[in-house]
Structure 1
Amino acid sequence: MRKISFVLVILFIIGCTSNKKEEKSNIKPESTTAIDTAMVDHTSDQIISNEEKIEVKDSVIVTNKVKESETDIKVSKGREIAKEAKAGDKKEKKEITKGNIERVRPHHTIWNSLTKKHVSSSGKVNYNGFKSNIKSIEIYLSHLEVTPPKKDWTKNEKLAYWFNLYNAATIHLIASNYPVKSIKDINNGKPWDKKFIKSGNKTYSLNQIENSIVRPNFNEPRLHVAFNCAAISCPKLMKGAFLPSKLNSQLNMLSKSWITDSSKNKISENSIEISKIFEWYKVDFKKGIIPFINNFSTTKITPNAEIKYLDYNWDLND
């Protein structure tokens, strides 16, 4: 009897459990249908939103990868640049140590300013004015002393340097002794032999600059209008400094002014009375005196024209 009762209890429990499972089974399809309908009817935006989030998430991932990639490139390039810059700095420092002075070029600003102030358009020189500014001339000469020409300079840079140095030294020599009637009144009549012009570690005379440096080393007959001897018969002192970038036009301008000045050169087609400079330095005019003059004269001279030389006036050009 007890056994029968126990069996009945077990059967009852099994039956209840089965009913619960069936209930759950019956409820699940209805609940699932309700949820699916709700998602279709009410959460389409949420579905899109979820897709967007995925896309955004993917984009973020991609973007992060790109950013990481770009960063790596920049860092790598930065390291290369840093190495190059460091190497460049070492090289530059080494070059400067080896001799930065080789790259230094003189500035002619002081001389440019002084000549524009104390030289007239006709070539008259105010030596009193230069004397009042003699300290400025000395500063300029000191500047040229420490910036002597180097092998890597251009022809025009070298010529501009020597022309300006020669003229500034000449003016300084006269201003230091002014008033004088003529440059020949200085140094016992031999002002051009006085060694007082410093360039680098050497000291030169005016004669050495003109006849030992420039004339033998530069094929330039126009140099005779550049060097100023401070005399009335000399080509006029330029109002301004010689500049490498303008040197050719400056020499042409001075040459034309000198050749066409009837007080210094008298020119006609078949005869000419010209400066003694042409006689003294005939060897410098390799293509001939007449061809040189014809380059700048408004009157063309015949090849066989008669040539005479004018007396040279050594009075000061003041």
Structure 2
Amino acid sequence: MQQKNRLQTIVGLWTLILFLWSGILSAAPQLIHFWNKSNESNRAMIDHSAWQTLLDRYLDAKHPSGINRFDYANLKANDKRQLKGYLNSLMKRDPRTYSKAEQKAYWINLYNALTVHLIVNRYPVKSIKKIGWFGPWDKKLVTIKGQKLSLNNIEHGILRPIWRDNRIHYAVNCASLGCPNLAEKAYTAANTEKLLEAGAKAYVNHRRGVQFKNGKLLVSSIYHWYKVDFGGRGLIRHLLRYADADLAKRLRDYRGSIEHDYDWRLNKF
């Protein structure tokens, strides 16, 4: 009886943990007002060439699985220093003094570079979720203009509420197989729109984004966690915007429930 009670307690605790963690992920964006400023007259561009060099060297964007893989294990010492230097260079800037378009690219690149930095510093790790009790997303990782920021701050306090663009979810990468691809190009004000559209189309038409399994529509948990961004049942309209012809036909004809899943294994080589 005692063993049964202990088992029930453990199951109950894990259920509570999963519920709370899911709630954190699915929370509505909460704007950090400090960052909601820009200088649209500033035509200056932020240099992301150091990040591009690292992507060129360590990202496999032609993996047969259709999922871009990063070679965390073989990052050389000088490239680790380059990654750290790139992050330091971003932290020294005040993004509010740039245009909104330049800022959008700045925050996406910062998020992705921070994620790679986290994994590299703790490699080998099987999943980003293994870093910390509930993952590293609430850990303060950078300080910019005196403001300490976490990955969650960047995504849910800056990117989502300022731009209100659900394609942000196709841009920020969580180092997981279930995640939309880490883009092979560094984001810039000039290419952000193109990269967001390409990322959305690639993900929707890959089985980890959308697939039919045993007659059921199975989508990435991203669409479940962020219903507030994708519109709940309106998700189908979003998917149809990017779906190839065969998938689009099945989506239009589908009347069943929508299930979701996610693969948290590391997107390593």
TM-score by length of 1: 0.63
1:291/1:303 CA distance change after superposition, 3 Å: farther
Give deviations 1:183-235, integer Å, cap 9, x for gaps. 11112333111101232322211011111111112120100010101111111
Query: Contact between 1:145 and 1:199, CA under 8 Å: does it hold in 2?
Result: yes
Residue 256 (structure 2) pairs with residue 306 (structure 1): yes
Give deviations 1:220-275, integer Å, cap 9, x for gaps. 0100010101111111111121111011111111111111112432059x952110
1:202 maps to what in 2? Answer: 147
Choose the corresponding residue for 1:109, options 33, 38, 49: 49
1:103/1:278 CA distance change after superposition, 3 Å: same
Q: Aligned pair count? A: 216
2:228 maps to what in 1? Answer: 283
Q: Displacement, 1:151?
A: 5.2
Q: SS of the residue aligned with 1:274?
A: strand
Letter paired with 1:256: K
1:317 maps to what in 2? Answer: 267
1:217 maps to what in 2? Answer: 162
Choose the corresponding residue for 2:114, options 149, 154, 169: 169
The correspondence of residues 1-318 of structure 1 with structure 2, limited to 5 A, is 105-121=45-61, 122=63, 123-130=68-75, 132=77, 133-150=79-96, 152-154=98-100, 156-267=101-212, 272-286=217-231, 288-298=234-244, 299-300=247-248, 301-302=251-252, 305-318=255-268
Q: SS of the residue aligned with 2:261?
A: coil
Q: Give, in whole Å, the separation in 1 of the partners of 2:76 and 2:139.
A: 20
Q: Gapped runs of 5+ residues in structure 1? A: 1-101
Higher helix share: 1
Q: Gapped runs of 5+ residues in structure 2? A: 1-41
- Say what the alpha-carbon RMSD is for the aligned residues: 2.3
Q: Give, in whole Å, the separation in 2 of the partners of 1:305 and 1:241.
A: 39
1:138/1:152 CA distance change after superposition, 3 Å: closer
Q: SS of the residue aligned with 2:262?
A: coil
* Structure 1 moving runs of 4+ over 4 Å: none
TM-score by length of 2: 0.74
Percent identity at matched positions? 33
1:271/1:295 CA distance change after superposition, 3 Å: farther
Give deviations 1:267-299, integer Å, cap 9, x for gaps. 59x952110000000111249211111111112
Larger of the two Rg values belongs to structure = 1
1:103/1:249 CA distance change after superposition, 3 Å: closer
Query: Contact between 1:167 and 1:227, CA under 8 Å: does it hold in 2?
Result: yes
